[in-house]
A and B are shown apart, each in its own frame.
Chain A
Amino acid sequence: MKVVLRNEMLTKKTNGDDISVRNVNVFYGSNHAVKDISMDIKKRSVTAFIGPSGCGKTTLLRVFNRMNDEIIGCRTEGSIILNGVDILDKKVDPVALRSKVGMVFQKPNPFPKSIFENIAYGPKIHGIRSKGELKEIVENSLKKAAIWEEVSDRLDESAMGLSGGQQQRLCIARALAIEPEIILMDEPCSALDPIATAKIEDLINELKLRYTVLIVTHNMQQAARVSDYTGFMYLGKLIEMGKTKQIFENPTEELTENYLTGRFG
């Protein structure tokens, strides 16, 4: 059983303090998927990771909430300092970490339960039992995810009956319900139509006022639209990272420029 080191520091919300990533390496067996990545993530901003397929963006994203721990044969090295705690330390419990770092997946994956139960699941397992409190949390989360108006009258109906875009916003609400500091988004719009995509992009713009958003996307234009900072990855390495405007208009590395102009995909 893992002991949570300095648990209070993890649960305390702090301002300031960027997230520092230092020398992160991820191995799947002998496959070196993420190669020595170091960077600073600014709090309460949107950071996008772009790059061709297989460059390690999703693997890197999954390091932040230690989802890679679930994969047999996967090894992670390095450190990520969040609020003064190295979350990659073996002594940090992934279960506790994931209440601070939420995730939204590529394909919307609501549970086969009611809309209410989907959102209430997170708070419930973290100890919130009173019905009144849960109702409040559900309503707030659905409002923050800009879907409250659409579902407020059918909270007891199955979440599987929602459209793809609504389901994804439900998943975002679900992640928000546990009050994370960081939200990880793994290509959240790739399974959605343009209208739903636009809604979610608007949502991301609102979210960054309160949360730190890390988003992986295949869609360069989306990264340009939505993010404050962009990191370009290629074959496991972080080639370039900086303000989005600068990366897209004036990239330093030739590789970055080649990718952005479509010389390879």
Chain B
Amino acid sequence: MVKKNKETKQFRVRLRLNEKIIVVLLFAAASAAIAFSGAILYTLVDGSFSFFTDPKVDIIEFFLGDKWIPTGNNPSFGILPLLSGTILIAGGAVVIGTPLGVAAALYLSEFASHRIRSIVKPIIEILAGIPSIVYGFFALMLIAPIFREYFGADYFNAASAIVVIAIMILPIVISISDDALKAVPNHMRKASFGLGATRWETATKIVMPAASSGIIASSLLGLARAIGETMVVLLVAGSVANFTFNPFNEVMTMSAFIAKVATGDIPPGPAVSAAFAVGLVLFIITYIINMIAARIVLRIKTGGSLYAKKGDRRNIVARQYIKFIQASTYFLFRIRDTLHNFKNRVYKAKALTLERRYLKQRIGKVVVGGSIIIAIVFLIILLFDIFSRGIEGISWTFFTSYPSRFPSKAGIYPVILGSLYLMFLTVLFSAPLGVGAAVYLNEFARDTKYTRFLRRLIQNLAGVPSIVFGLMGLAIFVRLFNLEYSLLSGSLILTIMVLPIIIVASEEALKSVPQSFREAARGLGATKWQSVRHHVLPNALSGTLTGIILAISRAIGETAPILFIVAFFAKTAPSSIMDGFLALPSQIFYWSTHPQTEFHTLAASTIIVLLMILFAMNAVAITIRYRSQARRDW
């Protein structure tokens, strides 16, 4: 029996005080999302304000004008060419990538054996993990020349970007469509088989329509991703804002313009603040798309029916959007039926025998299976091309030299160091913040309006285009806080960017710890924090670590957020957090933009190094996950 005396009483008072302080800290970590979202909004709104109040700028012309000439004596700021460029590239990528991705998901979900699934899914993960700058380099080296030579395209053209971005969004489309297809209850498939339908008929006539909202959501998320894509477009689509929808022309997208400002290609003046206005438009567009898609995905994940319940006023926009899509697909089906009837009247249709149905199934399987093959072949060609270009540049001098005007002397010593320092700082800032926020949200927060608001903010942060983070870093960290173009600024930007990843992964890890652990501890008299610290966190450790590694492997490949801050030349490696720095992805970008082959070799060699680091990180993450699963005895 524990003796209660004055000492115990004082102990418990201190305990309660400590507990309160800790909960406040965790609450602050979660609420930081408000500060970060506010920072982004402030950046965009304030910058746009300065832009629109500039005498050379007319707001009507901004939204309706069709000339975008941001520099010179008579600048013209009509956003339509940037919009057309974005629509052309993002739209084209979605038009190619969605059918490809949905077909692949259909194959994986309805036809593939377990073995094939277990081989293909990791390959899709690899596709997802390749940084966009690598895709951009590949587009520049291999895809653009093909369009130039065989299609007579401009030197820089939208088509190259469209093709590559279509592949980039495949993992998103595949994974969400696959989830949606798997969520269709199995008894529907059984009912269809019972009626004598083939696998193909069941998959296309029953399962896919039932999963249609999820598939739509996946294409929306792919669209949002494509709209925000910067580096591929910057490298290969061009920098002349032509108002055109011809994919073989050079175009500039909104994100590319902002990045051009970042790389310093544009002299100071209203052009620079124009970047903020364009960033605001970009942000709003992606925000709306992500919001609609998220509502739909939420419905699927909670298994809710998409048929409106009476009096359910939330998700009205999502429902209206779904109704719109369903109405248009219904309309498309009516057109198809009319065409079929017409065709049947014109000539006698062949009977739909069993053989023909099986033929349809075989053709169908080839088509959907083929889409997976396309993705895999693309990956193989990409990796092979880059390795064959860059392998000759890998040498000891490469790792120990500094970047130089002379490619034969150039190396990436400060570049690797810069990236490593950047990652170290990012982990330092983001891990406690992210894990703390996750612990608060999962263990302490109650389901209040405020908590739901925080969660929505975090989800929205995850959907912000990466170049907008760059703008925010410039406005807040460099200008407002005077942190200069430093490692500190860079790591702070990346911290905010990877925060949602860490929070989501940590929350998942925490959720996987059985509730009984917590209850057992509380039952013995432990406070909430004690139960979390001693029983929940240790068991959620591996999941949290994996999440952090995942976040860092995203951050190390990101170019756009640090484009405003990073340097491309250095005489020495950074020695303090206030120093400037170089980084792997930005160096790849810099060298890619030089026309000489030797620089391309340098870029390819740097990509190899980057991919090796990513591979090592993911190997560590997988090992941690594997070990913890093996050791788990609950």
Contacts and interface: CB of A to CB of B under 8 A. Distances in A.
A163 B362 CA distance: 39
Nearest to A124: B205
A179 B340 CA distance: 25
Contacts of B196: 95-99, 122, 125-126, 178
28 contacts: A7-B354, A65-B194, A67-B193, A70-B190, A95-B196, A95-B197, A97-B196, A98-B196, A99-B196, A102-B194, A105-B187, A105-B190, A109-B185, A112-B210, A113-B209, A121-B205, A122-B195, A125-B196, A126-B196, A126-B352, A127-B352, A127-B353, A129-B344, A160-B305, A160-B307, A174-B191, A174-B195, A178-B196
Interface of B: 185, 187-188, 190-198, 201, 205-206, 209-210, 305, 307, 340-341, 344, 349, 351-354, 357-358, 362
B210 A93 contact: no
Q: Is the interface of B mostly helix, strand, loop or mixed?
A: helix
Interface in A125-159: 125-127, 129-131, 158
A216 interface: no
Contacts of A160: 305, 307
Contact of B191 (A1, A105, A125, A129): A105
Given A125-B205, A127-B352, A160-B307, A175 B195 contact: yes
A48 interface: no
B338 to A, nearest CB: 11
A129 B344 CA distance: 9
A103 B194 contact: yes
Nearest to B212: A112
A10 to B, nearest CB: 11
A7 B294 CA distance: 50
B21 to A, nearest CB: 52
A67 B190 contact: yes
A222 B201 CA distance: 36
Given A93-B354, A126-B196, A178-B195, 4 more contacts: A112-B188, A112-B210, A129-B344, A174-B191
Contacts of A158: 307
B355 to A, nearest CB: 8
Interface residues of A, number: 35
B415 to A, nearest CB: 52
Contacts of A122: 195-196
A127 B351 contact: yes
Contact of B206 (A107, A111, A127): A111
A7 B362 CA distance: 21
Contact of B198 (A95, A107, A130): A95
A74 to B, nearest CB: 14
A6 to B, nearest CB: 13
A98 B193 contact: yes
A67 B198 CA distance: 12
Given A102-B195, A129-B349, A109 B190 contact: yes
Contacts of A110: 191
A178 B191 CA distance: 13
Interface in A63-100: 65, 67, 70, 93, 95-99
Given A105-B187, A129-B340, A98 B195 contact: yes
Indicate the member of B192, B196, B357 with the most A CB atoms within 10 Å.
Answer: B196
Interface string A6-31: 01000000000000000000000000
B354 A111 contact: no
A176 B358 CA distance: 24
Contacts of A131: 341
Contact of B354 (A70, A96, A175): A96
Indicate the member of A67, A103, A109, A129 with the most B CB atoms within 10 Å.
Answer: A109
A7 B344 CA distance: 26
A4 interface: yes
Nearest to B350: A127
Nearest to A93: B354
A65 B194 CA distance: 8
Contacts of A4: 354
The 7 A-B residue pairs with the shortest CB-CB distance in the complex, in nearest-first order: A127-B352, A98-B196, A103-B194, A99-B196, A122-B195, A109-B187, A109-B191
Contacts of A113: 209
Contact of B193 (A70, A93, A112, A174): A70
Nearest to A70: B193
Indicate the member of A67, A121, A158, A160 with the most B CB atoms within 10 Å.
Answer: A121
Contacts of A121: 192, 195, 197, 205-206
A197 to B, nearest CB: 20
A171 interface: yes
A7 B198 CA distance: 17
A129 B351 CA distance: 10
B175 to A, nearest CB: 23
Contacts of B354: 4, 7, 93, 95-96
Contact of B194 (A112, A126, A129, A175): A175
Given A129-B340, A129-B349, A160-B307, A105 B194 contact: yes
